[in-house]
Amino acid sequence: MNGKGAARWRAGRNCLLAASVAWLAAGCATGPTANPKDPIEPLNREVFKINDAVDRTVLRPVAQVYADYVPSPIRTAIDNAFSNVSDVYSAVNNLLQGKPTRAAEDTMRVAINSVLGIGGLIDIATPAGLPKYKEDFGQTLGVWGVPAGAYLVLPLFGPSTVRDTAGMLVDRQIDPSAYLDPVWLRNTLFGVRVVNTRASLLGASGLIEMAALDKYAFMRDAYLQRREYQIYDGNPPESDDTVPASPPPDATQENQALPTSPVQIPGNIGNFRLR
């Protein structure tokens, strides 16, 4: 099988797996005393502990060194480049969600920043008045009515749901960096993305450590609430069990026009979900 054939086969396999996993979400069993949104909480908590240990011993120290020694303009350029890539699958997902105007704006952002912004290193589109959106296939599935399914904590990837895990597999197929050759370049860029994004969350992780009595529950509830706001573009329907008093930080702005850069990329780092 040649390279193109193998790539098509992998893409088809992952898309089929994603669709199957997403629609299985409705069938997740829950015990009589379990949190209905977190039926496998004991297992999730164990994975959370492992992720947290990896973050504390590896990711966070590396990210701190990166933040201390890499000049801010370079970090901003890296943020902008990955943000430019994220506009590609944001455009696709806006189109799939029936938002052609947003999809066109995303496409224009990619064109302008890629050409005038030196491959996306400089964000030209935002000062020019083109809004920034952050859409992914997990949100698209939610817009289509696919239930979220059970809350999951994925090894190394962190908070998710059955639906968002399926969406993450599809997003990977749309990500241009997934097809870069040689492999060492692709892996290097992935590593830079992980460290750069974790560095941007250093302040947030410190606040969580100080504020949360139960860090696991805090992360779970914040993640689920934030995803709900993202799916409904900041205007989720009220429910009997959870009616948030105010939107989670940055949730409303993320799925409406985002006026500033940098932007978080899809994916997770440890127990810190990045979407």
- Ranking 11-20, 55-64, 246-255 by mean pLDDT, the lowest is 246-255
- pLDDT of 13 strictly over 60: no
Which of residues 27 and 59 earns the better pLDDT score?
59
Q: Would you say 158 and 270 are in contact if contact means Cβ atoms under 8 Å apart?
A: yes
Which tens digit of pLDDT belongs to each residue from 34-45?
689 999 999 999
One-letter identity of residue 125: A
Which of residues 224 and 173 earns the better pLDDT score?
224
- 3-state DSSP call for residue 36? coil
pLDDT band (50, 70, 90) for residue 33: low
Which tens digit of pLDDT belongs to each residue from 106-131?
999 999 999 999 999 999 999 999 99
Closest among 73, 85, 70 to 120, alpha carbons compared: 85
- Can you give the pLDDT at residue 35? 83
Closest among 110, 63, 115 to 82, alpha carbons compared: 110
Record the pTM: 0.75
Question: How far is the C-alpha of 225 from the C-alpha of 274, rounded, in Å?
Answer: 14
- Can you give the pLDDT at residue 264? 37
pLDDT band (50, 70, 90) for residue 8: low
Closest among 165, 102, 98, 94 to 135, alpha carbons compared: 94
Question: How far is the C-alpha of 107 from the C-alpha of 104, rounded, in Å?
Answer: 5
Query: Residue 151 pairs with which residues in a beta bridge?
Result: 161
- pLDDT of 90 strictly over 80: yes
Question: How far is the C-alpha of 269 from the C-alpha of 51, rounded, in Å?
Answer: 9
Copy the structure tokens of residue 73: 């303009």
- pLDDT of 235 strictly over 70: yes
Long-range contacts of 244-251 (CB under 8 A, 24+ apart): 248/222, 251/225, 251/226
The sign of the dihedral angle between the CA atoms of 167, 169, 170, 175 is positive
Q: What are the angstrom distances between the C-alpha of 238 and each of 16, 63, 138, 212?
A: 33, 38, 21, 25
The stretch 189-194 carries a mean pLDDT of 93
| Average pLDDT of the residues of the chain | 81
pLDDT band (50, 70, 90) for residue 207: confident
User: Which pairing describes strands 158-161 and 267-269: parallel, antiparallel, or unpaired?
Assistant: unpaired
- Can you give the pLDDT at residue 228? 95
- pLDDT of 238 strictly over 90: no
Looking from the CA of 269 toward its CB, the CA atoms found within 13 Å total: 24
Which of residues 93 and 173 earns the better pLDDT score?
93
Which of residues 100 and 26 earns the better pLDDT score?
100
- Ranking 4-18, 160-174, 200-214, 230-244 by mean pLDDT, the lowest is 4-18
- Can you give the pLDDT at residue 247? 47
- Can you give the pLDDT at residue 248? 47
- pLDDT of 103 strictly over 80: yes
- pLDDT of 163 strictly over 90: yes
- 3-state DSSP call for residue 98? coil
